[in-house]
Amino acid sequence: MSPQKLASRKDYEALVGKYDTFLFDCDGVIWHGSKAVPNIQSTLGMLRSRGKRLIFVTNNSATSRSDYVTKFTKLGIQAAVEEIFSSAYATAVYLSEVVQFAPEKVAYVIGGSGIRKELQEVGITTIGQEDTTPVDLATLAEIEPNASVGAVVFGIDYDITYRKLANAHINLMYNADCLFVATNDDRTLPGGKHVYPGTGSMLNSLIHSTQRTPLVMGKPNKPMLDCVMQKYHLDPARTCMVGDRLDTDILFGIKGGLSTLCVLTGVADEASILDPSAPQATYYMDSLGDLSELDASSA
């Protein structure tokens, strides 16, 4: 069945009435960079006023959950740490609770402060952020495996260097039992007017050089799905996943047996949503902010 376009107050009422829980991607759905999507504050306020549970599920590992709360607050949006589930947090939970990462080991991290902060909060020491010094053929020999590295964790890194890639490579190749974990493998990253290389595009360099396949935590992969379903005890029939990417957000919802809503404020356009070969959203609409038409006074 083709995705249903929501474009009227009647459509909006039917959507809101059908679900108890809404999962939201952030970039391209709630905001663009540092700017909120128009009317999004009113939309989220309306959903809360009707007793809906809101959960923000993001593949962006550059920001910790506590820093996300700060960002939400600056944009005039209510959100609690417990309502935010990021790929960085999922990675920390996986290493600490599933793998039971050895306390004497460290994680070599290619990524931003968000993933390092989440790992440190569960007691995992991180290294790698200091590896910004340029390297050349004459200095490559100084890069050696570090026996204390028990995992290489790869997330979005806006300051990625060859030295970081070389250190990650050498530890994955020569450290026995070194885990290879990626927060997500998004091919692109929305950045306002344009899209740019995402985590997956940089991650491929290590996959190619090591011939190893990482465990990918983020949407649409099973580890993230299992963590979200278990943490929030979701009823799939009463849950809707809202996103702007068909290959991550919408596919994530489909794999979880959830209804899905794709918005046109991010990566996907109407033609791609209606392409029968693409993951098929249940619904689509111009902007999540359009639900603000159902303001609190009409509840």
For the chain, what percent of residues have pLDDT higher than 70? 98
Q: Does 298 score more than 70 pLDDT?
A: no
Q: Tell me, yes or no, if 20 is annotated catalytic.
A: yes
**The pLDDT of residue 227:** 84
**The pLDDT of residue 224:** 86
The region, left, alpha or beta by phi > 0 then psi within -120 to 50, assigned to residue 52 is beta
Give the tens place of pLDDT for each residue, 94-108: 999 889 999 999 999
> Is the Cβ–Cβ distance between 151 and 175 less than 8 Å?
no
* One-letter amino acid for residue 88 of the chain: A
**Does residue 3 have a cis peptide bond before it, meaning omega lies within 30 degrees of 0?**
no
Cα 115 to Cα 141: distance, rounded to the nearest angstrom: 29
Pairing of strands 188-191, 53-58: unpaired
Cα 83 to Cα 86: distance, rounded to the nearest angstrom: 10
Instruction: State how far Cα 69 lies from the chain centre.
Output: 15
Give the tens place of pLDDT for each residue, 227-274: 888 788 899 999 999 999 999 999 999 999 999 999 999 999 999 999
Task: Select which of 20, 67, 226, 295 is catalytic.
Answer: 20
**Mean pLDDT score across all residues of the chain:** 94
Rg from Cα positions in the chain: 20
**The pLDDT of residue 1:** 81
Q: What is the mean pLDDT of residues 1-24?
A: 97
**The pLDDT of residue 108:** 98
Contacts of 33 by beta carbon, 8 Å cutoff, 6+ apart: 191, 192
DSSP string, 56-107: EEE---SS-HHHHHHHHHHTT----GGGEEEHHHHHHHIIIIIS---TT-EE
